[in-house]
Amino acid sequence: MYLIVDLGNTLAKFFLYNKDQCVLEQRVTIEKFDEMAESLTSSYQDIEGLIYSDVSDRAGHFFQKFSGQFPIIEVDHQMRLPFKNSYESPNSLGSDRIVLVTAACISYPNTNVLIIDLGSCITYDFLDADNIYHGGGISPGFDMRYNSLNHFTGNLPLLEAKKAENPTGRNTDQAIHSGIYFGILDEINGRIEYYDNKYDSLTVILTGGDANKLPKTLKNSIFAHSNFLAEGMFHLLKLNMGS
C-alpha cells in the first residue's frame, strides 16, 4: 500500500494505492488533516511508502514519527522530476504545481500542455512538447475575489460564488457576480488564446475544486479526471523510491 497526501489551502486529500490502483480516496477540510492522517496510518499497517504535497507547511511534522517505518517523500524542486524544469526560481515553485506538471507529463507525453488549476488561486503552468516546463502565472481564485471586494471596500457585500448569466449586472449583487465570473472566464480564455497562437496543437487541462464553475465548452480544454493529481504524485513516489 502507498499513501498519497495532498494538502491545499482549504482541503486535505488522501489517496491510498494498492499496486497501481487507487483503492481509497478521502477529502477533508484542512482543519481535520491530523484526524484523518492518524486514522489512515493507524488503519493500514502495510504502508510501504508515503508522498505528500503541502502548501500549508503543516504535514511534515505529523509524518516525522513514521520516518523509521516506511519511506516518506515530500514533493519539492530537489526531487527527481520527469520533466526539465526551466523555472528561474525553482525553490519557490509550489509543490502543487510540480505535481500537476508531472501529471500532465505522464498523461499527455510529447504534447504542448497548459494546466489551469482553479483553487484558492488560479494557477497556469505550461509544459511544452519537448518536456520542458516553462512556468506560468498565478492569480486570485473565485473566493479570493469575492472576499477582496468585500474587505477592501466600504459597501460591497460578501457573496457566495455564483455563475453569472449576463455580463451586464442590473444590480450590485449581479454586478459582483458578473465582474468575477466573466473576469475569470475572460482571463482564462485570453491565456488559452496566447498559448494557442504561440504553440501548435495545444491541450488545455482544467482541474481544481472550482473548475466545475466553468462552462464545458472552453476551447481545446479537457476537464481532468478526479485522480489526475493523485496519479502525478504516485508517479513521483515511484520515481523517487527507485522502483
For residue 50, the 8-state DSSP code is: E
CA gap 79, 238 in Å, rounded: 12
User: Rounded to the nearest 5 degrees, what angle is found at the Cα of 22, between the Cα atoms of 136 and 91?
Assistant: 30
Query: Cβ neighbours of residue 225 under 8 Å, at least 6 residues apart?
Result: none
130 is catalytic: no
Q: How far apart are CA 67 and CA 123, in angstroms?
A: 32
What are the residues whose beta carbons fall under 8 Å from the beta carbon of 107, sequence distance 6 or more?
228, 231
Residue 76: other Cβ atoms inside 10 A: 15
Helix 172-198 × helix 142-151 angle, to 10°: 140
Residue 103: name the closest of 3, 4, 213, 30 by CA.
4
Q: Among the residues of 44-94, which ranges form H helices?
A: 59-63
CA-CA distance, 31 to 228, in Å (whole number)?
Answer: 24
Taking CA atoms, 148 is separated from 11, 108, 159, 185, in Å, by: 21, 36, 11, 18
Tell me the C-alpha distance between 68 and 136, whole Å.
38
Select which of 6, 96, 117, 125 is catalytic: 96
What gap in Å lies between CA 113 and CA 103, rounded to an integer?
A: 11
User: Which active-site residues does the annotation give?
Assistant: 96
